[in-house]
A and B are shown apart, each in its own frame.
Chain A
Amino acid sequence: MTETRSRPSPLRWLAAAAQFCLGVAILLLLQKAGDAAVARFALPLPGALVGMLLLLAALVAMGRVPRPIALAAGGLLRHIMLFLMPVVAGVLDHLDMLQGHWLPFMVSCLLGTALTLVVTAALLQRLLHGRAAASGASAG
Chain B
Amino acid sequence: MTPGIAKVLAWSAASVLVYALALKIYRWRNAHPFLIPVATGAALIMALLALLDEPYPVYAQSTGLLRSLIGPATVALAVPMFVQLQRLRSVWRELSATLLVGGAAAIALAMGLAWVLGAGASLVASLAPKSATMPIAMPVAERFGGQASITALAVAVTGVAGAIFSEPLLRWMRIRDDRVRGFAAGLTAHAIGLAREMRTSPVAGGFAALAMCLNGVATAVMVPVVYRLLA
Contact = CB atoms under 8 A, between A and B. Distances in A.
B153 A88 contact: yes
A114 B173 CA distance: 12
A51 B109 CA distance: 29
Interface of B (DSSP majority class): helix
Contacts of A79: 19
Interface of B: 15-16, 18-19, 36-39, 41-42, 45-46, 49, 56-57, 59-60, 63, 66-67, 69-83, 85, 91, 93-95, 97-98, 101-102, 105-106, 109-111, 113-120, 122-123, 126-127, 130-131, 134-136, 138-140, 143, 147-150, 152-154, 156-158, 161-162, 165-166, 169-170, 173, 175, 177, 179-181, 183-185, 187-189, 191, 203, 216-217, 220-221, 224
The 9 closest A-B pairs by CB, nearest first: A120-B102, A73-B76, A104-B117, A44-B224, A27-B72, A48-B74, A55-B78, A46-B139, A104-B119
Interface string A119-131: 1111111011001
Interface in A100-140: 101, 103-125, 127-128, 131, 139-140
A98 B126 CA distance: 11
Nearest to B142: A46
A34 to B, nearest CB: 7
A5 interface: no
B122 to A, nearest CB: 7
Nearest to B50: A92
B215 to A, nearest CB: 9
B196 to A, nearest CB: 12
Contacts of A91: 42, 46, 149-150, 152-153
A97 interface: yes
Contacts of A76: 69, 72-73, 76
A116 B114 contact: no
A59 interface: yes
Contact of A48 (B38, B71, B191): B71
A62 B216 CA distance: 23
Contacts of A1: none
B221 A45 contact: yes
B78 A119 contact: no
Given A76-B72, A116-B105, A104 B118 contact: yes
Given A105-B114, A108-B110, A115-B109, A128 B143 contact: no
Nearest to B102: A120
Given A113-B188, A124-B94, A88 B42 contact: yes
Nearest to B95: A124
